[in-house]
Amino acid sequence: MNRKGNMIMETIIDLVIAALIIVAFFSVNFKLEDNTLFDQKRTARELALTIDTLTSAPRPVELMVTEEKGQSVKINKEQCLVNVRSTEKELIPTSFDCGNNNFLIEEERKEGERTKFTFKT
Amino acid sequence: MKKGQIASYIEWTLKLIPVFIIAVFIFVIASKQINAPLETHPLEAKLTMNALKYHCLILEKERPQLGVIDIEKFTEDKIKKCYSKNELGYTLTLLNKEKEELKKIKNFPSLNHERILPVCETIPEYECATTEEFILIYNKGTLEPSFLKLEVVNRVA
């Protein structure tokens, strides 16, 4: 390859590398702007720790849970495990534990968008 | 290998160094941001203390007596049945007013948690907290001032 050909080749490779960096930067930036996974984690912890707080509250006590837009919340009553998953995106669901042997739900009732949990005395 | 080829390799290596540095930088920033920790461990330790003090051990006569614990309830079996968490282990110690140990209870979800408690500050996967609170013990009709010490180990990763 002559000198001119070499220079063109080098320029093309430089441009490809630069393009790769730019694409990587924008894809990472796009990923960071998305708070869905963080929100999942936050909701699971918030609810599990609220249930833990209720452990030391005078009974009977009621807890109203409103599912946030794009989230589905499930509570495993036996293990006291709060599980949150996204209904809009394909993401790994997030779980968080609450105190498992004092979690006695007497009633679970849907009231419009909210779910009401009544804890046993 | 010809001299020209070696020079060419060196030139390409030098060109790739900034690319590599930028790639590592982007990766580090992204992974830190994506795995941003939610530090709820101190809150969990506080809630454990509250659950034990105001629910599991509380003295109940006509109504619950806040700040007074029933010594009869201070047994390993009762505590384990009352408050346990899958990723959280704890040691609960009852001390007298001279800070001498009266009773000690361990509740660990696994042997691993128990082993880690003394050295957990060195293991990033685990967090520890110790709290001590003044309480009154109800023992055979009398109230005695004492302290309740809680050491919590929590798997956070």
For B74, other C-beta atoms within 10 Å of its C-beta total 21
pLDDT band at residue A101, thresholds of 50, 70 and 90?
Answer: low
Q: Once rounded to an integer, what is the mean pLDDT over residues A20-44?
A: 84
pLDDT exceeds cutoff 60 at A84:
yes
Judge contact between B136 and B144, C-beta under 8 A: yes
pLDDT band at residue B154, thresholds of 50, 70 and 90?
Answer: confident
Range of lowest pLDDT (B89-103, B114-128, B137-151): B114-128
Q: Once rounded to an integer, what is the mean pLDDT over residues A15-36?
A: 83
Residue with tokens 């599912």: A67
Cis amide leading into A60 (omega within 30): yes
> Which of the pair, A95 or A117, is modelled with greater confidence?
A95
Amino acid B128 reads C
Q: How far is CA A3 from CA A8, A12, A98, B34, in A?
A: 9, 14, 70, 46
Chain centroid to CA B34 = 23
* B40: nearest CB among A14, A49, A79: A49
Which alpha helices (H) appear in B35-101, and where do they start and end? 41-51, 76-82
- Which pLDDT belongs to residue B11? 81
pLDDT exceeds cutoff 70 at B157:
no
pLDDT exceeds cutoff 70 at A1:
no
> Cβ contacts (< 8 Å) between B51 and chain A: which residues?
52, 55-56, 99, 102
C-alpha count within 13 angstroms, C-beta hemisphere, residue A111: 13
pLDDT exceeds cutoff 60 at B143:
yes
Would the pTM count as exceeding 0.90?
Answer: no
pLDDT band at residue A44, thresholds of 50, 70 and 90?
Answer: very high
- Which pLDDT belongs to residue B136? 93
Residues of A with CB under 8 A from a CB of B: 14, 17, 20-21, 24-25, 28, 31-32, 37-38, 41-42, 45, 49, 52-53, 55-56, 58, 79, 81, 97-102
pLDDT band at residue B22, thresholds of 50, 70 and 90?
Answer: confident
Judge contact between B27 and A24, C-beta under 8 A: no
- Which pLDDT belongs to residue B93? 94
What SS3 class is residue A50? helix
